Amino acid sequence: TYINRLQKLAKTLATVDVLQSLAVVAETNHYSRPSFNDDHVIKIQDGRHAVVEKVMGVQEYIPNSISFDQKTSIQLITGPNMSGKSTYMRQLALTVIMAQMGSFVAADHVDLPLFDAIFTRIGAADDLISGQSTF
């Protein structure tokens, strides 16, 4: 039947559309190809939150570097209200997700282990763009 062929074609076109969109965004925004390691080391040099950077504009956005070596199992993030703590945490999660789905990422250099889960509790009512925090 034609319906099966049309469904297969639609699925193929959707896949091509997603891959092409990721490629255009990566090229336009100077994303880099992540690398992966077996050492449980996280290194992100001049990472950016892809969505916040786009809305704020490149001129205003300050990139963050993140580093966890083999001896680091926890990182305490402190700072005054509206200093970027939530953006920093979300940036790490977004970078991991984008890298593991095969996308280039918003950073100068990224080296990550493979993750099987991401657990977080960040206020869902935060509005990072307009500077509104849940807390």
Instruction: Check pLDDT > 80 for residue 27.
Output: yes
pLDDT value of residue 85? 84
8 A C-beta contact, residue 131 and residue 66 = no
Q: What digits encode the pLDDT tens for the residues 119-134?
A: 887 766 666 556 555 5
Q: Which residue has the higher pLDDT, 10 or 129?
A: 10
Q: 50 — phi, psi (to 5°)?
A: -55, -40
- Residue (of 110, 113, 115, 114) closest to 33 by Cα position: 110
Q: Which residue has the higher pLDDT, 116 or 59?
A: 116
Q: What digits encode the pLDDT tens for the residues 71-85?
A: 887 888 888 887 888
How far apart are alpha carbons 108 and 63 in whole angstroms? 10
Instruction: Give Cα separations from 129 to 12, 16, 97, 98 (angstroms).
Output: 35, 31, 21, 20
Q: What digits encode the pLDDT tens for the residues 38-71?
A: 999 999 999 999 888 888 866 678 899 999 988 8
Find the mean pLDDT for residues 28-41.
Answer: 95
